[in-house]
Structure 1
């Protein structure tokens, strides 16, 4: 009887005093995951914060590295999600070492959309329509800044989800020479009543032969999201530009807000295969 009472008392008494004494936090040390810079943009007429994660081997020699640009790359956006995948891929050799450049957003509805004729788009995103100017910022200011200050190669990639995915698809179609690899996760192809998907066939025909890759994915999303993406893929199947490698990953078990990690992982492996790739 006494043994039972003692056992019950031990189980019901929380170890609060012990935990408070041994785990009482002190000053602590901040955990750093990359370095943040501020770039003054004349094209955007504003300062843009840029986050950079260098490969582990960057400080050990004079090796040069490909660059992966992350749209919505602020610390309160998608920085940690993609930086973790990049670092893990580097560590286990599944992907090659890359310099990750995260571009923090200020007005993503402006920067990531082209002008729309849809009254609903205009009403809900009144600042929209700045995608061309944002592309000029990438081409004329950010990429030269990265190339001047870091040891880069000519191989580049860009990754993003949702409106960022739409921007990436449009960049691939309208200015394909800007990057080597394009990763668009659940791109918002519904924008402007799916206008970009209707223009895809003609834009693909205008592309010059070049070695590049395109990686598309989508979750359990229908409507204009899926319809626009299906129309784009039909154009790719009918007349793929010479030198293009492209793939599509369907994730019916993932929602729009849960797809980024599962879709980004295989796309990064395909775009930047490392010395120990998954087969």
Structure 2
């Protein structure tokens, strides 16, 4: 009993007294950006803007813009902004304004109609990518260009269903953005229809494409798309079928996509392991 009592007393002595929270400097809000709320394509959604840390220092400087699909706070905004800033710190890619576009019903907003009965049954609301694209073109991009100091460079990035939206936008309205990154795009959609429509012979803006371990129709759709690209088309295809999963392809490849679309010309990148892997490229 005495031994037990001694143990309890020793534990009580070991527990530090709670510190007075008022003895420390008071915390302030950590503000990383701005947000605008829209009613668009049948849902209320946010457009989140994260400015470079030194945006206010030089009022004459203008910046490229990265438009990130699935860009809500609860989606990929923080990851995308962090990876972009990390690349800029190393000189791997240019620093940029990040615009995160929130999605609410991804299949509805990011994919076109499908003739695949199984897809229609699983995702009955899918098919309004044209309306979502029109909202980006008519409302979001003009707002960003009117309110912020942009330099005319605007790249669209997305993964999975958002990657399909990127490729579809590049094919249908290429002038909307100056560069496109489709990471593991869902090219199996609608019996691989997007890859079955040749993009034409004219060169479009640069296109970054990647493939992870998806296999199946996603893989055959990607290979067909690559074979259909005209010789003059600038593109980089990063083949990671044996290295990455669909679940981690965005995390692993967004820095490389930005390195391709927002290059800096730095001559030390390969020395530090920032190799731009283009197993196939054109243009």
If the length of structure 1 is used for normalisation, what is the TM-score?
0.84
3-state SS of paired residue (1:248): strand
User: Unaligned regions of 5+ residues in structure 1, if any?
Assistant: 1-8
Kept in 2, the 8 Å contact 1:92–1:276? The answer is no
Which residue in the other structure is 1:246 paired with? 235
Task: Count residues with an aligned counterpart.
Answer: 257
Do residues 60 (structure 1) and 57 (structure 2) align? yes
Which residue in the other structure is 1:233 paired with? 226
Deviations 1:171-215 (A, max 9, x none): 11111111111001100001001111111x2x233x4x45x2110
> 2:236, 2:97 → 1: CA distance?
23
Which residue in the other structure is 1:33 paired with? 32
Which residue in the other structure is 1:48 paired with? 45
Kept in 1, the 8 Å contact 2:114–2:189? The answer is yes
User: Unaligned regions of 5+ residues in structure 2, if any?
Assistant: 1-6, 271-283
Which residue in the other structure is 2:174 paired with? 176
Q: Find the partner of 2:200 among 199, 204, 208.
A: 204
> 1:117, 1:275 → 2: CA distance?
45
Query: What does residue range 1-279 of structure 1 map to in structure 2 within 5 Å?
Result: 17-18=15-16, 21=18, 28-41=27-40, 44-61=41-58, 62-199=60-197, 201=198, 203-205=199-201, 207=202, 209=203, 212-236=205-229, 239-240=230-231, 242=232, 244-251=233-240, 252-274=242-264, 276=266, 278-279=269-270
Residue 118 of structure 1, CA deviation: 0.6
RMSD of aligned Cα (Å): 2.5
Kept in 1, the 8 Å contact 2:159–2:250? The answer is yes
Residue 158 of structure 1, CA deviation: 0.5
If the length of structure 2 is used for normalisation, what is the TM-score?
0.83
Deviations 1:23-66 (A, max 9, x none): 9899855543322222344xx35433011111122101221111
